Amino acid sequence: MNKQDITSSLVSNHRSFTDYIVTVTDDRFVLSQNDKWTPAQHLDHMVRSVRPVVLAFMLPKLILGLLFGKSNRPSRTYEEVVLKYTQKLAEGARASGVFIPPPVPLGKRNELIQKLNAAASKLATQVSGISDKDLDTYLLPHPVLGKMTLREMIYFTMYHVEHHHKNLKKELENTQ
């Protein structure tokens, strides 16, 4: 996938998710069904997930290399990243630590939507400014998938929001 496709998908996937979140009724936005996250918590989780990636992409390459190392293999494809993630989920992997959202009040909806869309846009801008070689060289840690190249982390970020969007839609359709 080329950088233009990556940046376009990154922004549009997040925008599609937030556009959907806007349509969720106020009462449903903060309501948990079957001990699952509320739509508000899904939104907060997305913000919590994208922000560290944005910060990592702002680091100088020298720091990235010192902190996390360089890859000794080619980057996985988008499909390979998605397959690895879905396998880990099937094995029981779940969000942990700072990525677990607390209860989120209704009044935070617009703020979180703005934060998520801004973070996705900023990340797309940062990806545009990085060479393909660097996307495939520098590593970042992922709490479930281990060390990933910058390109793989972007692929994950693109898919992660789609994953939550699809699951949230399914949950809401099943409870109406």
Amino acid in position 55 = L
DSSP H stretches of helix in the chain: 3-23, 26-29, 39-58, 61-68, 78-90, 109-128, 132-135, 150-174
Give me the domains of the chain, ranges plus CATH numbers: 3-174 (1.20.120.450)
CA 73 to chain centre: 23
pLDDT at 176: 61
Mean pLDDT by groups of 10 residues along the chain of 176 residues: 94 98 95 90 98 97 96 97 98 96 96 98 97 97 97 98 96 80
At 148, phi and psi to the nearest 5?
-135, 150
pLDDT at 34: 80
At 147, is the secondary structure helix, strand, or coil?
strand
Between CA 87 and CA 29 the distance in angstroms is 29
Query: Could you say which DSSP state residue 141 is in?
Result: E
